[in-house]
Homo-oligomer: A and B are copies of this chain.
């Protein structure tokens, strides 16, 4: 008997998504489907078999990223030293943002925002909004514990996240940013955590 219908090659599906994310990141959404096909070592027709159109391909890329992003966003349980927890969170945020993958995904979403507003919203919810929400909960908890004195956890969470991320995200979008060493990431996240703790000490 023949191959059952609907048996499209899953490995190719991923290869297409990877290549598309890469090319869109480099050239912007103006990148051509032909180039994506070349990069994925796949025929253009195959892309259209898997995803029906360019907008749907873009959607698929962002959706996959949203799933990736949302997963590991668990705030640590209250630990003995909230400052350490904050520094760790800061490191992971900064590391994620400085990734080429993270930047190209953001650039894509920004560019498609005018045409597909729901995509941009989903991305924002999955990334920035969720992480800040979790952080706010953490700060509220630490305040109940008496280890911090955060009167407005939502605003404070915004402050901390922003201190860590800083202008780096914008700098990445503009293509203006030297490479960061892990030591520099440590230093920024550590300083941010320390100053934040001082600003919100009980």
Which of A26, A109, A174 is the most central at the interface, judged by chain B CB atoms within 10 Å of its CB? Answer: A174
Of the A-B pairs whose beta carbons lie under 8 Å apart in the complex, a sample of 9, sorted by A's number, is A28-B111, A28-B114, A109-B174, A113-B173, A121-B174, A124-B170, A152-B191, A155-B188, A162-B163
**Residues in A lying within 8 Å of B, measured CB to CB:** 26-28, 30, 106-107, 109-111, 113-114, 117, 120-121, 123-124, 128, 132, 152, 155-156, 158-159, 161-163, 165-167, 169-171, 173-176, 188, 191-192, 195-196, 198-200
Contacts of A26 in B (CB 8 A): 114
Tell me the bound Cα distance from A117 to B195 in angstroms: 35
> A125 — nearest CB in chain B belongs to which residue?
B176
Contacts of A114 in B (CB 8 A): 26-28, 175
- What's the nearest-Cβ distance from chain B to residue A56, in Å? 18
Cross-chain contact A176 with B107 (CB below 8 angstroms): no
Cross-chain contact A167 with B132 (CB below 8 angstroms): yes
> A26 — nearest CB in chain B belongs to which residue?
B114
When the two chains form the complex, which single residue of B111, B121, B165 contacts A111, counting CB atoms closer than 8 Å? Answer: B111
